[in-house]
Amino acid sequence: MTARIEARFALARGENRAALVTFITAGDPDHETSLAILKALPGAGADVIELGMPFTDPMADGPAIQQAGLRALKHGESVTTTLDLVRAFRAGDDATPIVLMGYYNPIYVYGVDRFLADAREAGVDGLIVVDLPPEEDEELCLPALKAGLAFVRLATPTTNDVRLPAVLQNTSGFVYYVSIAGITGAATPDFGVVASAVARIKRHTALPVVVGFGVKTPEHAAAIARGADGVVVGSALVDAVRTSLDGDGRATEKTVSAVTDLVSALAAGARSGRAAA
């Protein structure tokens, strides 16, 4: 399944631009609206989709994504229904990569072998599991690679040159550089520092390097795109969902377009960044 990821980054390189990687939470604000958003993302400019698996204790996520997970869980979203979202998406799109992002506990409870088989069958391309370090690769990373799924690893501002080879050892698909120390959506990154960090990581790997955490605007996307292979936006899109809801927290006629309008603007920013470099 890594072929879709490789093809999409190759396409972006061929067009001399950074890829736009968009994050939404599966089942937020409800399953049907989440599927509508998912289906609309590629047309709005998303190159790769990270689909968050809701979890009750999302330690790396800031308030926006925590609240999105709680909205989804309230409406019954689960690993099973998240895979159903991917299947429904794949019925109409066989080209856009989907990477499931989340925590190990729901996968462990579901059963690792069963999860990997079902994820592959549904059309998932890769996994980002934020609470499994390289020392635990035998738990999920190596089985995922054997099953044909990419296993995307996170590098952070504290990942020095001694630690980096361990982080990269079994990483596939792309490397996700966390631009700030802390939780998602917490601050705006220092783009000069990020560019230097991306260049350092690229000296250690041929994989695409994407940058996320704190990217909220087209201007942010443009700044990141000057040096990175991809720009990840998550909390800003989840906030777009939240602010579109009615007083009872239900989707409105504006919910899908609130997300896709922002994605279109971010995609334009990512493209302009490389042109300005």
**Residues with catalytic function:** 50, 61
* Residue that is written with structure tokens 């704190």 in the block: 214
d(CA 263, CA 9) in angstroms, rounded, equals: 18
The dihedral over CA atoms of 216, 45, 124, 12, expressed in degrees to the nearest 10, equals -100
Instruction: Please report, as a single letter, which amino acid is at residue 134.
Output: P
Q: Assign 125 to helix, strand or coil.
A: coil
Consecutive H or E run containing 271: helix 255-276
Q: Assign 218 to helix, strand or coil.
A: helix
d(CA 57, CA 2) in angstroms, rounded, equals: 29
Instruction: Please report, as a single letter, which amino acid is at residue 164.
Output: L
Sign, CA torsion 270/198/8/136: negative
d(CA 225, CA 212) in angstroms, rounded, equals: 11
d(CA 83, CA 159) in angstroms, rounded, equals: 32
